[in-house]
């Protein structure tokens, strides 16, 4: 898994009925874009995350930059 600052971390719900969570990656703490990531959740809460197999990195499209 590799990310850049500004990417979104999408974590799938682990239990049926549990919603997915997305967060903005605000800092990369690993080498060459690898975890752990400091993320900011939609509610403003920040956390250090070591994503598992239930997570993926979403890169913003050019339209999202404008």
Tens-place pLDDT, residues 6-20: 999 999 888 888 888
What are the Cα distances from residue 66, in Å, to 1, 6, 51?
26, 13, 28
Using alpha carbons, select from 30, 32, 34 the residue that is nearest to residue 57: 34
Tell me the two tokens of residue 28: 């990369």
pLDDT at 44: 94
- Which tops the pLDDT comparison, 48 or 65? 48
Q: Residue 60's pLDDT band (boundaries 50, 70, 90)?
A: confident
Tens-place pLDDT, residues 4-58: 999 999 998 888 888 888 999 999 999 999 999 999 998 999 999 999 888 999 9
């Amino acid at each position: 898994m590799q990310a850049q600052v500004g990417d979104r971390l999408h974590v799938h719900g682990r239990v049926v009925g549990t919603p997915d969570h997305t967060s903005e990656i605000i800092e990369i703490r690993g080498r060459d874009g690898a975890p752990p990531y400091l993320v900011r959740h939609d509610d403003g809460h920040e956390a250090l995350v070591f994503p598992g197999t239930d997570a993926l990195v979403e890169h913003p499209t050019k339209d999202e930059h404008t």
